[in-house]
Amino acid sequence: MSLAARIPHTLKQVRPVLSTDHAEAKRRVLNLYKIWLRQIPYIRVDYIKNNWTEPRLRDIIKENFMRNKDVTDVRAIDLLVVRGQMDFVETAEIWRQQHNVAVFDSTKNTYKKKPASFLERFYEGY
């Protein structure tokens, strides 16, 4: 009996969420990025309390896109694009509150870095 005959045929082809290949996924990401950049003047007016300049908003949008630059799975890219589109609609329609839009700014990072070395973990109580 060959090895191929012993392996169960439980693996199946997964269907794509939106994109069929990396080129189409890249096109969707770039379109979403352009949409966000076109919305910058309106975001600045709608959410005026944050006192963001247009270059700072461009940097924030770029940082949020670059955060996921290493994702290579087409299905994961599609899900990130869908989530980005939902965030865009919520921001453009002013469904977000001031403090929810401030979450996009990565300079206010509230995540604590996990300790790397043994002593750091020991001091933190891990």
Q: Dump pLDDT digits (tens) for 49-58.
A: 667 889 988 9
Distances (CA, A) of 47 to 42, 44, 53, 58, 101: 8, 5, 11, 15, 8
Percent of the chain exceeding pLDDT 90 equals 40
Q: Which pLDDT score, from 0 to 100, does residue 10 have? A: 60
pLDDT higher than threshold 70 for residue 124: yes
Burial 19-52 (b: 16+ CB within 10 A, else e): beeeeebeebbeebbeebeebbeebbebbeebeb
> How far is 98 from 86, CA to CA, in rounded Å?
17
pTM score over 0.75: no
